[in-house]
Structure 1
Amino acid sequence: MTRTERRASGALASLFALRMLGLFLVLPVFALEAARYPGGDDPARVGLAMGIYGLTQAFLQIPFGLASDRFGRKPVIVAGLALFALGSALAAWAPDLTWLTLGRALQGAGAISAAVTAFLADVTRDSVRTKAMAMVGASIALMFALSLLLGPLLGAWIGLSGIFALTCVLALAGMALVVWGAPAEPVRARAAGTVRWGGLSEVLRHVGLLRLNLGVFVLHAVQLAMWMAVPALLVQAGLPKIGHWQVYLPAVVASLLVMGGVLFPMERRGRLRAVFLAAIGLIALVQLGLLWAVSGSAAPGLWLLGGLLFVFFIGFNTLEASQPSLASRLAPAHARGAALGVYNTLQSLGFFAGGAVGGWLFKVHGAAGLFTVCAAASLVWLALAWPMRAPTGGRG
């Protein structure tokens, strides 16, 4: 990497880290803590409150991506972070589940993922882009691990409202990082005022991008749906919620070590497709393993749950690093913001579906029904991804 590429990768990975830490801090405690709010006795409504963030993101990812193509990446990113901060403040104040849901929806209106990813793609070469995206993916995974450690502790100390207030502060710190820490935008990004909706039409007809968009939807739907059931399973296994980090943290850290030792060497050898498909297979295998575990007469033990989560995070972190890199390389350069807007729209819809549908499935059909649907979705994704070809250079 050049000096500019390192600076951009570090700054934007840090931005993702600040934003995602705020989002992830609530994940291990939301389903349990939201039940304390008026209206929180309905798991379906709790799932909606958790997942609605993704729905509002889905509506705005493409407009934010197109806006970043036309007006530049930095102004769009700062505006999105401001909306995210406002939503966090509203969620911190919320007196009941309805207002909490509205705060989560406003958080999602700060749909900057496409603009940030496009910014990173603008300032990195194809040959190092997977490494740059992996830095972002690793920062997200590390924040996820940290949130699993801190979330239960903060939930017990300052409550869910305090966590949302902290999220607001993190968003403001992210705005400062964009203004003063990120490098200047390339001329190409800042001069893209001629970009219109035509680029979106081109993106929507691209078979390779459509395949990746489906994949990111399934990945994040499964991820969020799992966490409608996993915290309760850990409690049933004898681990109180304040100690859940003892399972999450080792699983995430160990999975990052495995990913780093496999993904980059295999990409250099031209085996990215094999790694990509294997990672999808691991996601499906974990869902089948969880289904088997909850279908037995006894509750699954901590070692089994920890092992399955370790395998899940290997697949998840590998896909988090490789999918956006593939999307940016397949996308036409003049419509990269639009392409990543569509990609992140499907990611956001996955968050929404995972929370809303996952909460409903858990309420009506229990953990077994939830993991059955997650396993089926993962296997369908694997079948549809099988014909893919990884780009070998240039735009792919």
Structure 2
Amino acid sequence: MVSRLLTAPERRAISGLAGLYASRMLGLFMVLPVLALHAGDLAGATPLLVGVALGIYGLSQAVLQIPFGLLSDRVGRKPVIAFGLLLFFLGSAVAAEANGIGEIIVGRGLQGCGAVAAAIMALLADQTREQVRTAAMATIGLSIGVAFAVAMVLGPLLAAHYGLSGVFWFTAALALLGLVVLWKLVPPAPRRLRHRDVGLDRAQLKAMLGRGDLVRLDLSIFSLHLLLMMIFVAVPVRLATLGVPAERHGWVYLGIMGLAFVAMVPLVIIAEKRRRMKGMMLLAVAGLTLSLLGMGVMETGWWGLAALLMLFFTGFNLLEATLPSMISKLAPAGAKGTAMGVYSTSQFLGAFLGGLLGGALSQQWGQEAVFLGATLVGALWLCVLHGLPAPRHLSSEVVALGESAHGDALETLMQRFADVAGVEDVLVVPEERLAYLKVDRQQLDSEALARVAGASDR
């Protein structure tokens, strides 16, 4: 029986890489609640260009994350991650020294060029066994959520005391700290392998793009981050208009994020434990769409705006937690990494277009148009979700095969895995000596699965 307890090197790798990923996302997110407020100090700033500055990192991320991941397969994970962190540092320094909105856009674009997410996930896969990899990936996901919440509070506090330049210098320092963590805390990877549960396989790309259910989820994360960027063109200015001092915006966001997290937790439990994923997803999209409509048409004080934002972020947090889970459940055995690669690219493209669209609407018709345009996006999103099948609650398993499994024995082994109760899909990859399974844990015969896996070692 293979232990699922983390080894000391695995704990070091997970903590180091989760911290590295989170600090990088913290640096990207911290600008969201402050840039629109401080745009008046920047030469040439317009609402459209502020929107571009908010979202431009998504374009460079979308273009470069897959190439950086593939490059890390060839030249090594750590060199690629280090190069990406240096680009992030350079972009932060350019933005910190900026006098005009054009330099801010260049700096944010360079920050996004440090597109090392895929390389970090690949290094994490190199450093962990198949039996603990799902938990390791969940730790990364949790760290991103924490980074977003911290950024909403820390960004306004730093900007109030040190200005926009101080925010960017802080992100530059995070990049340098990330380099120290990478080389001192994260253990060296003994191997560079392809991981179908983490990395993209170009041979599977066409099949993933042809799956209507997966495409709907890709459009969902695209829409979610498009809406996020749109509202941060207008919400900070709306708070200031309602008399909330800039230095207190962080505390407003802290209260909103805390309440939204508490409200999200029971909904996630219903989605996962009671197998109501689709229902909770539709509820979340409907809730955030209604909150956007309220922000667009209702004249409220700041308490009313805070309540609407709490509704928005409850839906946002719920979707951030459940959409990756749905991708994992729907992706075929051995294709989760490719499905997640397309999903992540869609997310970054949504962030870019959200900033662009929000800025354009604000410049042409004002803040209310931003919220009403976002409401229309939410309504179209609900239409896209019509017909999405409720996902079967399947989990991914990766089983290492023994040296004796080869040739015809692999075909026999694949059939033996398929015959285990609760195993719904199997992909055996001889060159990787791995079997990728999709299983229903409520129906799974764990003892039979362990016997088949053990037989592959003999």
- TM-score, normalized by the shorter chain, greater than 0.5: yes
Give matches, 1:9-158, under 5 Å.
10-40=15-45, 42-68=46-72, 73-117=77-121, 123=128, 129=134, 135-158=139-162
Write the distance in 2 (CA, Å) between the matches of 1:385 and 1:127.
Answer: 33
Q: CA deviation at 1:338?
A: 4.1
- How many residues align structurally? 388
Deviation per CA, 1:16-48, whole angstroms, max 9, x where unpaired? 3211221222211111223212112x2111211
Give matches, 1:176-191, under 5 Å.
176-182=180-186, 189=193
Distance 1:333 1:393, change over 3 A: closer
2:206 counterpart (201, 206, 209): 201
1:291 counterpart (288, 292, 296): 296
Give matches, 1:154-303, under 5 Å.
154-182=158-186, 189=193, 197-264=202-269, 266-293=271-298, 299-303=299-303
* Bigger share in strand: 2
Distance 1:70 1:334, change over 3 A: farther
Q: CA deviation at 1:373?
A: 1.7
Q: What residue is the counterpart of 2:6 in the other structure?
A: 3
Deviation per CA, 1:219-255, whole angstroms, max 9, x where unpaired? 0010010011111111122211111123210110122
Write the distance in 2 (CA, Å) between the matches of 1:23 and 1:142.
Answer: 13
SS for the counterpart of 2:167 is helix
Answer whether contact 2:30 2:151 (CA < 8 A) is retained. Answer: yes
Q: CA deviation at 1:340?
A: 2.8
Q: What residue is the counterpart of 1:314 in the other structure?
A: 314
Q: CA deviation at 1:141?
A: 3.4
SS for the counterpart of 1:227 is helix
Give matches, 1:247-396, under 5 Å.
247-264=252-269, 266-293=271-298, 299-331=299-331, 336-386=336-386, 387-390=388-391, 391-394=393-396
Q: What residue is the counterpart of 2:430 in the other structure?
A: none
Deviates more, 1:212-221 or 1:180-189: 180-189
Q: CA deviation at 1:70?
A: 5.8
Distance 1:44 1:83, change over 3 A: same
Structure 1, unpaired ranges of 5+ = 294-298
Answer whether contact 1:199 1:335 (CA < 8 A) is retained. Answer: yes
Answer whether contact 2:157 2:250 (CA < 8 A) is retained. Answer: no
Answer whether contact 2:205 2:338 (CA < 8 A) is retained. Answer: yes
Q: CA deviation at 1:306?
A: 1.0
Answer whether contact 1:72 1:189 (CA < 8 A) is retained. Answer: no
Answer whether contact 1:68 1:337 (CA < 8 A) is retained. Answer: no
Distance 1:74 1:222, change over 3 A: same
Deviates more, 1:177-186 or 1:371-380: 177-186
Answer whether contact 2:267 2:318 (CA < 8 A) is retained. Answer: no
Q: What residue is the counterpart of 1:296 in the other structure?
A: none
SS for the counterpart of 1:95 is coil
Distance 1:385 1:70, change over 3 A: farther
SS for the counterpart of 1:27 is coil
Write the distance in 1 (CA, Å) between the matches of 2:308 and 2:52.
Answer: 26
Answer whether contact 1:70 1:195 (CA < 8 A) is retained. Answer: no
Deviation per CA, 1:178-230, whole angstroms, max 9, x where unpaired? 344446669683588x9863233333223332122111110001001001111
Answer whether contact 2:221 2:346 (CA < 8 A) is retained. Answer: yes
Write the distance in 2 (CA, Å) between the matches of 1:191 and 1:300.
Answer: 50
Distance 1:202 1:8, change over 3 A: farther
Write the distance in 1 (CA, Å) between the matches of 2:66 and 2:178.
Answer: 21
SS for the counterpart of 1:389 is coil
Structure 2, unpaired ranges of 5+ = 397-436, 439-458
Write the distance in 1 (CA, Å) between the matches of 2:237 and 2:318.
Answer: 26
Write the distance in 1 (CA, Å) between the matches of 2:304 and 2:382.
Answer: 24
Q: CA deviation at 1:304?
A: 0.9
Q: CA deviation at 1:115?
A: 3.7
Q: CA deviation at 1:159?
A: 1.8
Write the distance in 1 (CA, Å) between the matches of 2:158 and 2:235.
Answer: 19
Q: CA deviation at 1:365?
A: 1.8
- Relative contact order (C-alpha < 8 Å, sep 6+): which is higher? 1
| % identity of equivalent residues | 44
Give 1 or 2 for the bigger CA radius of gyration.
2
**RMSD of aligned C-alpha atoms?**
3.1
Write the distance in 1 (CA, Å) between the matches of 2:285 and 2:192.
Answer: 35
Write the distance in 1 (CA, Å) between the matches of 2:214 and 2:15.
Answer: 26
* Bigger share in helix: 1
Answer whether contact 2:36 2:234 (CA < 8 A) is retained. Answer: no
With normalisation by structure 2, the TM-score equals: 0.75
Deviates more, 1:239-248 or 1:203-212: 203-212
Q: CA deviation at 1:312?
A: 1.4
Distance 1:117 1:267, change over 3 A: farther
Q: What residue is the counterpart of 2:400 in the other structure?
A: none
Write the distance in 2 (CA, Å) between the matches of 1:346 and 1:230.
Answer: 24
Q: CA deviation at 1:100?
A: 1.8
